[in-house]
Amino acid sequence: MAKSSSLGSPLRNPQQAVAAPSAAPPGSDQIYKVTLGDAPQKGRAEAKVTIVEWSDFQCPFCGRVIDTLHQIERNYGSDVRFVFKHNPLPMHPDAPYAAKAAIAAEKQGKFWQMHDKLFEANNSRQPDALKQDKVDAMARDIGLDMERYQRDLNAPETAQAIRDDQAQAAKLGASGTPHFFIDGARVSGAMPYESFKAVIEAQLRRANAALASGVQKKDLYEHLIKDGQSGPPAPPPQAAPPPQARNVDPGDGPWTGAKKPKVTIVEWSDFQCPYCSRVEPTLKQILETYKDDVRIVWRNEPLGFHPNAMPAAKAAMAAFKQGNDKFWKMHAQMFAHQNELSEAKYEEWAKQVGLNLAQWKKDKESPEIAALIAKDNSYAQQVGAEGTPSFFVNGKFISGAMPFETFKGAIDEQIRKADELLKKGTKQEKLYQALVEENVKAAGGSPQAAAPAVEQKFDVQAGNAPAKGPKTAPVTIIEFSDFQCPYCSRAQSTLKQVMDQYAGKVRLVWKNQPLSFHPNAMPAAEAAMAAYEQGNDQFWEMHDRLFAKQQELSPAYYEQVAKEIGLDVAKWKASVESHSGQAVIQADMSAGNAVGANGTPTFFINGKRLVGAMPFESFKQVIDEELSSRVAKK
């Protein structure tokens, strides 16, 4: 292909040829029916191999994979074409604007030039590289008509195009970025070149066989995907979790109801979720029935497979910036007209609500609002609100759009408890925390966190990962973690307590799950895996130092630690600069995603999943059960 149509500039330290498994990545043996639509394409329409990518311009993994795509382009030439689809993730506040800018550039025939500029900025790792003014400057640099660019960027159909791409991704199970379908075969993540090569070679064989059988070149792609699946198979039904209670912080977000409540209901919800809409009349009935006693607090959990959920959350939270009552008026409009969610409708409702429209528009796209929503999302994972709607009634968990009677039983019980505490002298401002702590203790947890819901066992293999404790230990804890994650750091003291108390009985295994919204997580993982190449003990020394000074994570600090723990620094630096740990890290991430370890930290205790920085008692409960079970089997 011509040099002017490259897939992006190479990274400063491109990956060198590293020994990597040539086996195709998991899941690539299944073909999916991936329609192309009007997405930007590069390469011949009659190419034998079509690579469809869902990507996010602020995602560090999407930036990292550019060199691999560039290598594919060089090595396969006219046999390959590339198709780009948008999936700006909720934790990347600058990604939606960048996506809209790329679409606006596409309208003027310059998508790939803008694409390259945006990923060059991404790979610069500068925190403000994709701010609106910088993106607009890129548009000027590539010679766009700026008046038309701004008009196209802000057009409702531009935002709709992104939502359409995201809806298609959700249907196909492409929840993270980057995500690829190569003639319909899935490749998830920034996998090394050898992994892509294995899939491309397999698809070339399919394409050649089809052409030899008489399929016309112009019909080749449609022929190769025509019998593909429309989406991943549905997961098996899960057993309902046992009753739980969590110490949930209501936060300082939108609320409605009593000013001095005896019962606080914290709700995690999604404006596009049909079950969230279904429960609204029940919540209204609760507020009418218990108007002097109940407060409802809203927290955002826009789900990835609901493309309108995130834009709606931003619009509602921007309304909240102008007053709590403004939020609830916007909230009412969104649920009353859930099938009409769109940028045009948000603006129409903003006018009806009486918002300062200019300020609302500015706030809606601000990093501050994106950060608030991301914080709610992250906290949902920590307290176990993994679906919507999820409710915590003074900390007692209720999942789903349950009927009024279910809430009534919990509320009446809490009002009785509240009255008893108030009679004993508990002050109103201390009432919620006192009730939550009582409920958590009654559920068998600690005041700091709830006991885990033990699920079915997962088949998680330790492999050759870094580990401590004897291989023959009866209990193996496999930890999926991220060196920049504050909850992962918090869990380290608990893990030390586990290893001390169960010395010889527990083996701890590390697996990498660097999250895309932690920019230092992947480089830290590479530094630690480069240390592991020089020994298991060296990995754990590096591991301990990285968590000990989590706020100092940087290339300079990694090198300092490498020197302090006695590594062969030249060899270590060569490993880091060549990204030699990438194949292992990506394999860890894929394995984690396959078993639901999408957040960090996530632990598997002899296959039983435990999510979050849980207290020692939570680990102890599962470990003791496993040890007792082992004794009983003997």
Average pLDDT over residues 57-77: 93
Average pLDDT over residues 243-271: 93
Q: Note whether 387 and 429 are same-domain residues.
A: yes
Run of H or E residues at 50: strand 49-55
- Look at residue 18 and tell me whether its pLDDT is greater than 60: no
**Neighbouring residues of 216: CB distance < 8 A, sequence distance ≥ 6:** none
544-582 pLDDT per residue, tens: 999 999 989 999 999 999 999 999 999 999 999 888 899
Which has more confidence, 188 or 147? 147
Q: What is the pLDDT of residue 17?
A: 33
Share of the chain above pLDDT 70, in %: 91
Strand spans (E) along 155-200? 179-182, 185-188
Q: Note whether 205 and 296 are same-domain residues.
A: no
- Look at residue 596 and tell me whether its pLDDT is greater than 90: no
Which has more confidence, 631 or 42? 42
Residue 624: inside a domain, yes or no? yes
Q: What is the pLDDT of residue 631?
A: 58
Q: Note whether 214 and 340 are same-domain residues.
A: no
Residue 454: inside a domain, yes or no? no
d(CA 26, CA 21): 12
Residue 276: inside a domain, yes or no? yes
Q: What is the pLDDT of residue 235?
A: 52
- Look at residue 533 and tell me whether its pLDDT is greater than 60: yes
Token pair listed for 149? 């660019």
d(CA 268, CA 266): 7
The CATH code of the domain that includes 369 is: 3.40.30.10
Q: Note whether 403 and 286 are same-domain residues.
A: yes
Q: Note whether 68 and 207 are same-domain residues.
A: yes
Q: What is the pLDDT of residue 456?
A: 62
- Considering its fold, how many domains does the chain have in total? 3
Average pLDDT over residues 520-530: 94
Q: What is the pLDDT of residue 600?
A: 84
Q: Note whether 622 and 501 are same-domain residues.
A: yes
Q: What is the pLDDT of residue 66?
A: 94
**Domain C-terminal end among 384, 408, 442:** 442
Is 458:607 a contact under the CB 8 Å cutoff?
yes
Average pLDDT over residues 471-477: 95
Parallel, antiparallel or unpaired: strands 467-468 and 506-512: antiparallel
Quickly state the pLDDT bin for 454 (edges 50, 70, 90).
very low
279-321 pLDDT per residue, tens: 999 999 999 999 999 999 999 998 766 778 889 999 999 999 9
Strand spans (E) along 87-195? 179-182, 185-188
- Look at residue 368 and tell me whether its pLDDT is greater than 90: no
Quickly state the pLDDT bin for 4 (edges 50, 70, 90).
very low
d(CA 627, CA 603): 17
Q: Note whether 159 and 288 are same-domain residues.
A: no
Q: For 212-221, 323-332, 431-440, 624-633, which range has the lowest pLDDT when averaged over its residues?
A: 624-633
Residue 456: inside a domain, yes or no? no
Residue 230: inside a domain, yes or no? no
Residue 423: inside a domain, yes or no? yes
Share of the chain above pLDDT 90, in %: 66
Q: Note whether 117 and 69 are same-domain residues.
A: yes
Run of H or E residues at 193: helix 193-212
Q: What is the pLDDT of residue 304?
A: 65
Q: What is the pLDDT of residue 339?
A: 83
Is the whole-model pTM more than 0.75? no
Q: For residue 65, what are the CA distances in angstroms to 130, 287, 499, 503, 578?
A: 18, 51, 38, 42, 14
The boundaries of the domain holding residue 615 are 467-633
- Look at residue 470 and tell me whether its pLDDT is greater than 90: yes
Q: What does the mean pLDDT of the chain come to? A: 88
Residue 459: inside a domain, yes or no? no
Run of H or E residues at 475: strand 475-481
Is 480:433 a contact under the CB 8 Å cutoff?
no
Specify burial of residue 384 (Cβ count, 10 A radius: 0-12, 13-18, 19+).
buried
393-408 pLDDT per residue, tens: 999 999 888 999 999 9
Q: What is the pLDDT of residue 519?
A: 81
- Taking the mean position of all CA atoms in its chain, how far away is CA 258? 35
Q: Note whether 36 and 176 are same-domain residues.
A: yes
- Taking the mean position of all CA atoms in its chain, how far away is CA 8? 25
Residue 129: inside a domain, yes or no? yes
Nearest CA-CA partner of 95 in 120, 146, 71, 59: 59
Q: Note whether 210 and 338 are same-domain residues.
A: no
Q: What angle do CA 598, 604, 605 make, to 5 degrees?
A: 165
**Neighbouring residues of 124: CB distance < 8 A, sequence distance ≥ 6:** none
**Domain C-terminal end among 225, 241, 274:** 225
Specify burial of residue 532 (Cβ count, 10 A radius: 0-12, 13-18, 19+).
buried
Q: For residue 583, what are the CA distances in angstroms to 20, 52, 188, 207, 567?
A: 6, 22, 13, 28, 22
Average pLDDT over residues 196-209: 96
Which has more confidence, 170 or 535? 535
Q: Note whether 292 and 197 are same-domain residues.
A: no
Q: Note whether 202 and 290 are same-domain residues.
A: no
